[in-house]
Amino acid sequence: MSNAVYINSENPTKDQWKLLAQYAYPTNIVRYLQQHGFAGSEKLVEYIAGCFRQSEAYFTAAEESPVDISPLLQYYGAVTLLAGASALVQGGQLPIKGHGMALNAIDIKRVADAQVTPRRNGALQQFAGIFAPGCLFVNGEPWTLEEIFGSIPDLKRDFEGCYQQAVPYTVPVEIVKRDGGSLERIAIEELGRFRAPDDALANVENLRQSYLVPQLTSQYVILRRKIGAPEIGIYSLFNEKHLQIAHSKRGQKLTPGQATSMFMGMYSLGFLSRYHPEFWNRFVRSDQTGELLLVEKFIAVCQRYFPNLVLNEIQKSRIQFVNKTKGILDLSAPPATGPATKPAAKNTARD
Amino acid sequence: MSIRSDAYATCKSVWTSPSRDSLRSVIKKLQASESGYLAQGQHVQILGFLVVDQRKTSIEQEMQFLHIMPLEGEDRNLLSAAHRDILQLNTRCVAPLVTQLPQCAKAIDPYSRFKYELPKTPDGGVLSEEVLAKMAISFHEHPAIGVAIQSAEPSASRMTEDKYVGAVSVFYDSLIKAGAYDAPDDVKSIMLGQGKDSLPRIIVRHVAALTCIKASLCVLDQLIYQAILGNKLPLLDRNNIFEVGQLSNNLVCNGLSLSYQPSEQLLRVNVHDVVLVKMEIPGLPPVQLWHVESIHSEFSQEFGSFSRVALREVDENLNPFGHLLGGM
């Protein structure tokens, strides 16, 4: 989603829920449904309103709870929010029966080793059909939590620090705007865990359709967008663009998207804490590896960003909360910084 | 059929010419040589190599660091034969005009600024008699020929050969200097300030028509030269263009600026090359020939490599100043 909408906010978490809370009111729900060509029965409207209200309550409860139980509350918040949002954007309640995934955490040593196995029919696949179109989970093929953590842009640094050998599933891209046309570039060091830059890029879905042939320099992989091509990639909480590396499952390449990956992660942690207290209690109380820091960061990122991602899907734009001074339109030349250098003098003269 | 489509057919015949492969090898060899840059800088295709060879001694005296290897006899013969074909083609293309207005012949000859006498060489060029004849007949339909003949009356009697050469050369240079995105001020003031039947406008129309003929011959010759070197025109399309810059529809032509990324398929484009642009751009045909006016290339570790080209549209008559003829 490339059409970014910037909203000034001192408290993005609170303000995203204010925007989502619109859909807890029948008038707004009916208006949204009508704008999108849906009639919407009274029952549907109440269902949507209830989902949005409950979801906020679960997320608020998760925020105020210790890590012993917060993952489960957060998952309930997430699944309820997706149920309501799906009904809103689809104009009808999804026939959901079950979570659509199962957790296997027997004899695991690390949280990262827990496996979640998607089922083709269930909440996960149905939500993915709306929030990650084209992602058809392969029935019975497990995903490790390591893979899921590695797919979240905001966890990349912590992920690579925590799991020394693990290969990430997201690569940060720097957008450079220049007079000669903008470009995107990946720093070579960001690809250090892949055998070669090509290994990473070959697994980015639709890369060829969106970009010209990548150029490799000693410092960067240079990517230039094809004219008129749709944008691919996702954005971190702090507006950093990332390309997603597809997961290979039985020869099929899957890119579930950020919200779906988070949803799978929240399910895994929620059920790990709920149904494997013997593991979770020891982990929370006496983790020796630092993995707890990563898990806490995952929970924090989901708490802040997951509702934002769902809001983006509802409003079909990328809502970015910023904190900037308003009311000043500065059209003057940029001030010279430090001693007058040739480039600064040139820019000033041109401007 | 248009002059452009007949030019394509001419180029295809070049591919099957018996001397094409050896000629291409010679040109590639010369392009890579020390003097290749000098020769290509003349922008007169094959003649550039022959002229540098002819002026070898004086060039070496002027540029003492440069050592120019003389052309081998066989190479010179090949180049000369091919250039002779092109000269013949040009002469036959403009025959109906030159018959009526012989004093303009030199002015519309793309190579007239070089005094070079081709050595007598055996036959063996790149264009057969049949191809030459067909292309020439097609070129006779160039609208500028009719305009030049019709507008000749007020000026022809007073114009000597030298005056024609001077007028066309000055006018051509002013169009090039104004660039692909604008018309020269003089042209604007004539076209917007003088009636169609006014004497100054008729005279300028005459010179403009001759300039269009010369420019169209330049494009035709360039296409043949490129056909000797390769089977495809450089293609700028969605697979290498990443920015469409300035687009100008002015009194002289359509001008366009594009930024593209070099690739295996499109390593290098040179100034004066004719390229094919295949892209949906509002107001322009989806596939069109363009003349490369200028190139700006960059390479850095930080931003990779790219080139920005300024292009001038070439119409179906191979005329890069197509709007000028219609508006004048």
Q: Which of A183, A213, A227 sits opposite B303 (nearest CB)?
A: A183
pLDDT tens, residue by residue, A129-185: 999 888 889 778 999 999 999 999 999 999 999 999 899 999 999 999 987 778 999
- Cβ-Cβ contacts under 8 Å, A181 against chain B: 242-243, 259, 306
- The reported pLDDT for the residue numbered B61 is 83
- Cβ-Cβ contacts under 8 Å, B261 against chain A: 212-213, 215, 224
Query: Is residue B59 very low, low, confident or very high in pLDDT (cuts 50, 70, 90)?
Result: confident
Pairing label, strands A318-322, A4-8: parallel
pLDDT tens, residue by residue, A256-285: 999 999 999 999 999 999 999 999 999 999
For the beta carbon of residue A311, count every other beta carbon within 10 angstroms: 20
**CA end-to-end span of chain A:** 32
Residues of B with CB under 8 A from a CB of A: 238-244, 259, 261, 263, 279-280, 298, 300-306, 308
φ, ψ dihedrals at A238, nearest 5°: -100, 25
- Alpha helix stretches (DSSP H) within chain B: 3-15, 20-31, 36-41, 46-54, 56-62, 73-93, 95-100, 129-139, 143-150, 153-156, 161-178, 185-193, 199-229, 322-327
Q: B261 and A215 in contact by Cβ < 8 A?
A: yes
Sign for the pseudo-dihedral over CA of B215, B217, B218, B222: positive
What average pLDDT does this structure show over A317-327?
Answer: 88
For the beta carbon of residue B125, count every other beta carbon within 10 angstroms: 23
Reference B145, options B239, B232, B214; nearest CA is B214
Q: A213 and B263 in contact by Cβ < 8 A?
A: yes
Reference A69, options A351, A269, A327, A338; nearest CA is A269
In this structure, which amino acid lies at residue A343?
A: P
> Which chain B residue has the Cα nearest residue A227?
B242
Least confident of A266-270, B149-153, B224-228: B149-153
Q: A220 and B263 in contact by Cβ < 8 A?
A: no
In this structure, which amino acid lies at residue A130?
A: I
- The reported pLDDT for the residue numbered A181 is 79
User: Which residue, among A182, A217, A221, A223, would best test binding to B if mutated, counting the most B CBs under 10 Å from its CB?
Assistant: A217
Q: B244 and A227 in contact by Cβ < 8 A?
A: yes
Q: B240 and A212 in contact by Cβ < 8 A?
A: yes
The rounded distance, in Å, linking the Cα atoms of A279 and A263 is 21
> Which chain B residue has the Cα nearest residue A185?
B303
In this structure, which amino acid lies at residue A235?
A: Y
Q: Which of B238, B263, B308 sits opposite A227 (nearest CB)?
A: B238
Decide if B178 contacts B184 (C-beta within 8 A): yes
Q: A219 and B301 in contact by Cβ < 8 A?
A: yes
Nearest CA distance, A99 vs chain B (angstrom) = 43
Q: Which of A213, A222, A229 sits opposite B303 (nearest CB)?
A: A222
Q: Where are the domains of chain B?
A: 3-231+320-327, 235-313
CB contacts < 8 A, A to B, total 57
Residue B74, C-beta contacts closer than 8 angstroms, at least 6 positions apart: none
Cross-strand pairs, B296? B308
**CA end-to-end span of chain B:** 25
Nearest CA distance, A163 vs chain B (angstrom) = 30
Q: B242 and A222 in contact by Cβ < 8 A?
A: no
Place of tokens 């663009």: A241
> Which chain B residue has the Cα nearest residue A216?
B304
- Cβ-Cβ contacts under 8 Å, B302 against chain A: 185, 217, 219-220
Pairing label, strands B274-278, B235-237: parallel
- Cβ-Cβ contacts under 8 Å, B277 against chain A: none
**Ordered strands of the A234-235 beta sheet:** A215-216, A220-223, A183-187, A170-176, A241-244, A234-235
Please state whether B160 falls in left (phi above 0), alpha (psi between -120 and 50) or beta: beta
pTM for the full model? 0.85
The rounded distance, in Å, linking the Cα atoms of B273 and B223 is 8
Q: Which of B241, B259, B301 sits opposite A180 (nearest CB)?
A: B259
What average pLDDT does this structure show over B140-156?
Answer: 90
Nearest CA distance, A157 vs chain B (angstrom) = 23
Cross-strand pairs, B294? B310
Nearest CA distance, A226 vs chain B (angstrom) = 5
Query: Is residue A341 very low, low, confident or very high in pLDDT (cuts 50, 70, 90)?
Result: very low
- Classify B63 as helix, strand or coil: coil
Torsion of CA B115, B118, B124, B129, to 10 degrees: 60
CA distances to B71, B72, B80, B227, B229 from B49, in Å: 9, 12, 10, 17, 15
- Alpha helix stretches (DSSP H) within chain A: 12-21, 26-35, 42-63, 70-90, 123-131, 145-149, 156-162, 197-201, 207-210, 258-275, 277-286, 291-315, 342-350
The rounded distance, in Å, linking the Cα atoms of B207 and A278 is 95
Counting residues of chain B whose pLDDT is more than 70, the rounded percentage is 98
Contacts 24+ apart (CB under 8 A), A289-295: A289/A110, A289/A162, A290/A161, A290/A162, A291/A110, A291/A111, A291/A112, A291/A162, A292/A67, A293/A158, A293/A162, A294/A149, A294/A155, A294/A158, A294/A159, A294/A162, A295/A67, A295/A111, A295/A269
Write out the DSSP string of A225-256: BPTTPPP--EE-TTS-EEEEPPEEETTEEE--
The rounded distance, in Å, linking the Cα atoms of B164 and B109 is 11
- The reported pLDDT for the residue numbered B88 is 94
Residue B113, C-beta contacts closer than 8 angstroms, at least 6 positions apart: B169
Q: Which of B243, B300, B302 sits opposite A181 (nearest CB)?
A: B243
DSSP assigned state of B117: P
What average pLDDT does this structure show over B268-278?
Answer: 93
> Which chain A residue has the Cα nearest residue B279?
A227
Arithmetic mean of pLDDT over chain A = 91
- Cβ-Cβ contacts under 8 Å, A184 against chain B: none
- The reported pLDDT for the residue numbered A334 is 62
Q: Which of A178, A226, A227 sits opposite B303 (nearest CB)?
A: A178
The ipTM estimated for the assembled molecules is: 0.83
The rounded distance, in Å, linking the Cα atoms of A267 and B321 is 67
The rounded distance, in Å, linking the Cα atoms of B322 and B284 is 14
